[in-house]
Amino acid sequence: MADGQVIGKGPPLRSAAILIGVVVVVAGATWLIWVAGNGSFRESYLANLFATLIGIAVAVPIGLGIDRAAQAREANIRRMHLLRAIRNDLVSTGEDLASRTDRSAAVVPFLGTGLWEAVSTSGQIKDLQPEQIRVVGRAYDRIAVTASLERQLWDLTHDTLHGRTAITPDGVDRDVLIALSDQDRHTTAAIEYAIEQIAMGGS
């Protein structure tokens, strides 16, 4: 970040600064007119000034409220689109996992968490609510564990250097297979729960 760069200066802060500037200018002009002007001119000016200040006092909060409402609508639209993409990805992953009932051999391609990683690194995650992040994040954590076990099983059963191409009855790969079968249940449950929460709003 460059020196002097300011982060977090949003429209409300700029609007407040503009309002303060207007008040300062009006106050200065009022003082000059009060000192230099005659009585009738003062009365006319003060009447217009009060009307202007009342208009500003009413218009600025309304304008800020409209701006906040528009930002909230935009954030809600982004959240809906993002949740739809996440739901579709989780449904696809769940169907892929359900098709892997036979864990007697390593299966490729491995399950992936690319969408969630992209959402997290791109900053889109800020559009989600905390509970949505917790539930969806847990589902993708389970998917990542499953994918890691799948990769371990593949590496163990495709050790061409030692001529291994199958799961041995009592080897380490058998332990990985047992862990993978158990993990499948946890991953499936996490995916189904995340999909259910997304459908309900997840808040």
Res 70: pLDDT: 77
Please, are residues 141 and 135 in contact by the beta-carbon 8 Å criterion? no
Please, are residues 87 and 195 in contact by the beta-carbon 8 Å criterion? yes
Q: What is the pLDDT of residues 45-96, one digit of tens each?
A: 666 766 776 776 677 677 777 778 777 788 889 989 999 999 999 999 999 9
Tell me which residues of the chain have a pLDDT lower than 50.
1-9, 203
Specify whether the backbone of 4 is left (phi greater than 0), alpha (psi in -120 to 50) or beta.
left
Res 2: pLDDT: 41
Residue 194's SS3 state is helix
Quickly list H helices, 106-171: 114-122, 130-157
